[in-house]
């Protein structure tokens, strides 16, 4: 019996199955994270956050809602966090990274739907996700076809969806549409929260979100060191937690961790031996607790030094300007900032290749592992173009889901890839 049972019951969770889920998560975390050697002490905070992932953070949100705040769920980095915070809302990432409730999800979605979509559906239908239950509004977006159609069905179940119409091209017309959609979300948030969004509130919110991005950028830059001062697994976890922790506390704790990593870099303390093959993972996002690929890579001797992903660089690469000459100017700048994101849902999407090359060079990468969730047409298709543009650079294309069924086969491919990378460096 947990201290949170009453809260979970009030949120409508299936208590016996939820207990099983937490047990499974705890064991996975123990096996994947806590067995890593020489972790920075500052990871203690993030371990604590995970140990309380359905406990303390949910209680904080429940209490904040009782005090009048609203929970705003999102599934995509195109949804402007600045607007949510300026409306005194709580920004809650809802993407899920574990296979849960698949049979229930498949009553609404075709089997050949990506695991990320099936998982957020499955968590809801199996009554296992407290985050969805503490939202007052869920903001979706017209990115991939799978999400678009899933949101329709999700609205039938939750009745909470607001869909942002994201264009597919960054043309003048596309930009105009997106700017109008940002304004429409502002209106929706004002209506929901009763809070008037002003340029001053947006400036304050932007500073909070930018501070979080700056801390994530700092972490990313520290990983350029050889040996890298933090494992890819730990860095991935931090990027995952960025989507639901309190942003001010998160930034503070991440900066403290980065102070420690600064010291490690000076003393050349790493988590893997200097010279371990340095890998950039690029592609579909990895929602918590999807640690599969990083775990396979790092237990095969690689150092994952970057994520070209929405749970990674795509989330923190660009800052939003912090000075606004009025509300229209603020909305213009926010809309533009989000259109710098290089998701494969845009056509053309050449900036993504440029960004991959930049990360490869800055992080002194030896090989790129392109990761696409199975049935994700966008990233699977784009992987061919990325491979072509990278020419002879070591490139491994991985298409997988959340199950461990292909783990053995993937490990064999990864080991062969790392061997090839090592030989190439000789």
Query: Least distance (Å) from ligand BJ8 to the CB of residue 211?
Result: 22
Q: Phi first, then psi: give them for residue 306, nearest 5 degrees.
A: -170, 155
Q: Among residues 125, 378, 396, 418, which is the contact residue for ligand BJ8, using CB under 6 A?
A: 378
> By C-alpha distance, which of 279, 283, 273, 288 is closest to 129?
288
CA dist list (Å): 250 to 43, 67, 199, 245:
12, 22, 24, 6
Q: Among residues 129, 280, 310, 418, which is the contact residue for ligand BJ8, using CB under 6 A?
A: 310
In sequence order, the β-bridge partners of residue 280 are 306, 368
CB nearer to ligand BJ8: give 305 or 373.
373
Q: Which of residues 274-303 bind ligand BJ8 (CB under 6 A)?
A: 284-285
Site pattern 382..421 for ligand BJ8 (x: CB under 6 A): ----------------------------------------
CB nearer to ligand BJ8: give 118 or 278.
118
CB nearer to ligand BJ8: give 78 or 131.
78
CB nearer to ligand BJ8: give 232 or 283.
283
What is d(CA 178, CA 343) in angstroms, rounded to the nearest whole number?
A: 15
Q: Output the six-digit token pair for 166.
A: 């994201």
Q: Output the six-digit token pair for 133.
A: 């239950």
CA dist list (Å): 285 to 180, 291, 371:
27, 11, 9
CB nearer to ligand BJ8: give 30 or 347.
347
**Residue 345 binds to ligand BJ8 (criterion: CB under 6 A):** yes
CB nearer to ligand BJ8: give 243 or 417.
243
**What is the DSSP annotation of 176-241?**
HHHHHHHHHHHHHHHHHH-PPP-HHHHHHHHHHHHHHHHHHHHHHHHTTSSS-SS-HHHHHHHHHH
- Contact range with ligand BJ8 by CB under 6 A, out of 14-22, 54-62, 178-186, 373-381: 373-381
**Residue 116 binds to ligand BJ8 (criterion: CB under 6 A):** yes
Query: Which residues are near ligand BJ8 by CB under 6 A?
Result: 76-78, 114, 116-117, 143-144, 146-147, 284-285, 310, 341, 343, 345, 373, 376, 378-379
């Amino acid at each position: 019996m947990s201290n949170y049972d009453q809260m979970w019951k009030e949120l409508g969770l299936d208590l016996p199955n939820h207990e099983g889920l937490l047990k499974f998560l705890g064991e996975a975390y123990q096996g994947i994270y806590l067995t890593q050697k020489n972790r920075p002490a500052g990871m203690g905070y993030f371990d604590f956050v995970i140990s309380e992932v359905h406990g303390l953070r949910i209680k904080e949100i429940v209490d904040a809602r009782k005090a009048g705040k609203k929970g705003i769920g999102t599934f995509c980095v195109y949804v402007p966090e600045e607007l949510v915070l300026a409306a005194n809302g709580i920004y809650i990432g809802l993407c899920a990274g574990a296979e849960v409730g698949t049979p229930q999800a498949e009553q609404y979605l075709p089997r050949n739907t990506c695991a990320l979509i099936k998982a957020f559906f499955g968590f809801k239908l199996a009554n296992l996700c407290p985050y969805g239950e503490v939202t007052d509004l869920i903001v979706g977006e017209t990115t991939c076809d799978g999400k678009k159609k899933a949101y329709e069905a999700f609205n039938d179940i939750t009745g909470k969806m607001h869909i942002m119409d994201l264009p597919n091209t960054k043309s003048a017309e596309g930009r105009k549409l997106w700017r109008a959609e940002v304004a429409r979300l502002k209106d929706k948030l004002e209506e929901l929260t009763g809070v008037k969004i002003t340029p001053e509130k947006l400036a304050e919110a932007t500073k909070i979100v930018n501070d979080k991005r700056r801390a994530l950028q700092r972490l990313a830059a520290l990983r350029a060191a050889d040996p890298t001062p933090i494992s890819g697994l730990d860095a991935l976890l931090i990027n995952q937690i960025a989507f639901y922790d309190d942003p001010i506390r998160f930034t503070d704790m991440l900066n403290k961790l980065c102070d420690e990593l600064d010291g490690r870099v000076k003393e050349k303390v790493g988590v893997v031996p200097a010279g371990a093959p340095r890998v950039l993972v690029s592609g579909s996002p990895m929602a918590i607790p999807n640690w599969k690929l990083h775990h396979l890579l790092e237990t095969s001797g690689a150092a994952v030094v970057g994520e070209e992903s929405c749970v990674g660089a795509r989330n923190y690469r660009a800052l939003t300007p912090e000075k606004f000459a009025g509300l229209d100017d603020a909305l213009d700048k926010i809309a533009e900032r989000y259109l710098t994101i290089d998701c494969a849902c845009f056509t053309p999407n050449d900036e993504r290749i440029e960004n991959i090359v930049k990360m490869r060079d800055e992080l002194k990468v030896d090989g790129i592992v392109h990761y696409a969730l199975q049935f994700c047409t966008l990233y699977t298709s784009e992987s061919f173009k990325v491979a072509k543009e990278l020419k002879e650079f070591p490139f491994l294309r991985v298409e997988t889901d959340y199950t461990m069924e292909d783990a053995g086969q993937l490990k064999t491919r990864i080991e062969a890839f790392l061997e090839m990378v090592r030989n190439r460096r000789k």
